[in-house]
Amino acid sequence: MQRLGIDTGGTFTDAVMKMADGSFRLAKLPTTREDASRAVLDAVDALVVAETPIELIHGTTFATNALLTGELGRVVFVTTAGFADLLAVGRQDRDEVYALEPRATRPAQPRSRVVEVTERLDAGGAVVTKLHRAEVARVVALVAKKKPQAVAVALLHAFRNPQHEQQLGRALRKLGVPVMLSFEVAPEVREYERATTTWADAALAPVVRAALSTLQQRLCASRVGSQLRIMRSDGGTAAVETALEHPVHLALSGPAGGLSAALSLAQKRGDTELMTLDMGGTSTDVAWLSTALPETRPLYVGRLALLARGLPIHTVGTGGGSTAHLDAGGALAVGPESAGAVPGPACYGRHGDVATVTDAHLLCGRLQPDAFLGGAFPLDVGAARRVLKQLGQAVGMSTHAAAQQILSIATADMERALRKVSLAEGRDPRRAVLYSFGGAGGLHAAWLATNLEMRAVVVPPLAGAFSALGLLAAPARRSYTQSVLQPLPTFRQRAALFAPLLQQGVAALRGEGIARAALGRCCKVELRGAGQAGILVLEEGPDLRARFFAEHERRFGYRRTDQSVELVAITVTIDGPSTPQWQRLRESHQPAKMRSRQRTWFGNAARTFDCAWYQRESLQPGDFLHGPAVVAEYSATTLVPPGWRARLDAWNCLVLEREA
């Protein structure tokens, strides 16, 4: 059965299929926002012979967009009596410390759809107030009157003892709507985050289930025998039926494909520390990754704190379609609003009337209007010039100065994001390699690497559809986290804690037909010093206490070996086999053959450069070139500034480095 990876982004839908000879076929189509499944099926038809059954691995933005826009299902929230305002009160944290009117960071749950339950457990899980049958019946009747599309149940301390949630769950599920129980969704300490995660899981259920069920039905109707798998936020895949059980784990499904691919490629290339830059049409996702111990952490999406673990992605609203405008103070700003695919940037020729980052790149000579998407999507230079001229007049700049200013602002936004995942976390970006992908990532990568003093930029194969490529390689995966909150146990005692989660994960993947011998296991611990809030994640193993103090010193600059260490939580990840995508090729070490020349602006230079253009598909491993240059390919474009050189390495990656 032919396998396809399809990533639905805010602007484009990318599809990749690996051929029998090891090459890849690629399709990039505008996302159909009103019905995203239409673009997915069109991409399938563009790559695969009609009616041929396929296995489709899908990176979806359904959950992400629903959380960001608030277009969610009607939820009734059920909680312990006296805690009806749990979601409304939230935390005292302020993300915008200096905002005079800070925005709320809590779920939009009206109090009229909150139901209190007379029951209570203490902090250890012992029953203080028993949940009686009459109370269960009263709660079910009250919930039914509120006509929910889904129900979220989060009782106090239920992660210690699920007895009362189980009682309610059995009764509420007779209503015929999804019922999410907090001890199943997020069996962890922190009542507010456990509640928001359960609420988000319930709120997503009606939306995501409808969208993915529709896609599965249409796929199987047109191609009988086809299978659909969904990428999860943790970088692994699940059968669609499993993914729909708890859709909160799809909160960052789309971006996870690129990070998963970057990790596997970095392991092959021997890069141990990397930062990723995934710039698409709507947003840019950045992350810091270590190939030694890939990290997952609680997510923060749509201003909601979620205990659903995912790869450490930080997103900013800067993409190729991000629009330029004047802010409240009259200064030029870029994003987070995006022109999307329709109407898209003005240069798309679809009646867009606002200047975007893509329009600025085109006018600065960084894109070839007749070669965009292999010539299948010509760009309108006149339309880009018109909207940029209007913007320039509004801010008192020339047309080209306005275009360069847009690009400077967009680059600064991405630089701040990269600093947030590196320097703000105590990590030195000079130790890392910048992996740049997405359709627009290569247009900014070299400047970002310069500003952060990074030693190299790696632009992987099929850069503009790298997330879709990552879907092909992603393994089936189950991840489980359980709060512990006790002084660090012995190795033997920790093994007993891990055992039930390992059994649960193995059983889940065995149920998908994966042989036990093919399963990989990874156990991690979350540790902190007594009295501290900061948590460090380490791989389970011997000498854990000593490794904690060493990591504490690296992260915070000091160690206190007299301090007791607490085990906060344990995490288990079970993986099925992954499909290898990377093949080492022989390098020839030849100068690259130029395709053409074009006048191009680089950075904020007041003049243009006579710039060499290269077609990436024509380059062979070992080919090298010197900046200023542009390397164009079907799905992306990479700039090589003056003072930089580039070569295609044995893994078919375009590697940019500063000249000596």
Total domains present in the chain: 4
Q: Which pLDDT tens digit goes with each residue over 509-523?
A: 999 889 999 999 999
294 pLDDT more than 80: no
Q: Which pLDDT tens digit goes with each residue over 58-110?
A: 998 888 888 877 889 999 999 999 999 999 988 877 777 788 887 777 888 99
Residues 158, 39: one domain? no
- Exposed, middle or buried by CB within 10 Å (0-12, 13-18, 19+), for 98? exposed
Residues 82, 182: one domain? yes
639 pLDDT more than 90: yes
Q: Which residues contact 490 (CB under 8 A, 6 or more apart)?
A: none
Region 30-52: mean pLDDT is 87
Instruction: Name the domain boundary from 215, 250, 285.
Output: 250
Residues 76, 189: one domain? yes
**Which letter does DSSP use for residue 542 in this model?**
S
Residues 76, 198: one domain? yes
Structural domain that includes position 150 = 71-202
Exposure string over 551-589, b if 16+ CB within 10 A, otherwise e: ebeeeeeeeeeeeebbbbbbbbbbbbebeebbeeeeeee
Helix axes 399-421, 381-395, angle to 10 degrees: 90
SS (H, E, C) 96-135: CCCCCCCCCCCCCCCHHHEEEECCEECCCCCEEECCCHHH
What pLDDT is recorded for position 604? 66
Residues 87, 151: one domain? yes
Region 312-319: mean pLDDT is 87
Residues 89, 164: one domain? yes
Instruction: Name the domain boundary from 545, 575, 605.
Output: 575
Residues 110, 193: one domain? yes
Q: Residue 18: which CATH number?
A: 3.30.420.40
User: Which pTM does this prediction carry?
Assistant: 0.88
Distance, CA of 318 to chain centre: 15
Q: How far apart, in whole angstroms, are the C-alpha atoms of residue 522 and residue 85?
A: 38
Residues 495, 551: one domain? yes
Total residue length of the chain: 660
Q: Which pLDDT tens digit goes with each residue over 422-462?
A: 998 889 999 999 999 999 999 999 999 999 999 899 999 99
Q: Which pLDDT tens digit goes with each residue over 473-524?
A: 889 999 999 999 999 999 999 999 999 999 999 999 999 889 999 999 999 9
Cis peptide before 53 (omega within 30 of 0): no
Residue 591 in domain: no
Mean pLDDT over the full length of the chain: 91
State both tokens at 161.
């003892």
Is 41 strand, coil or helix?
Answer: helix
Residues 91, 137: one domain? yes
Residue 556 in domain: yes
> Hey, how many other C-beta atoms are within 10 angstroms of the C-beta on 607?
7
Q: Residue 152: which CATH number?
A: 3.40.50
What pLDDT is recorded for position 605? 65
pLDDT higher at 560 or 543: 543
Residues 24, 122: one domain? no
Residues 176, 242: one domain? no
What pLDDT is recorded for position 459? 97
Region 641-653: mean pLDDT is 93
State both tokens at 308.
């659903």
Residues 26, 81: one domain? no
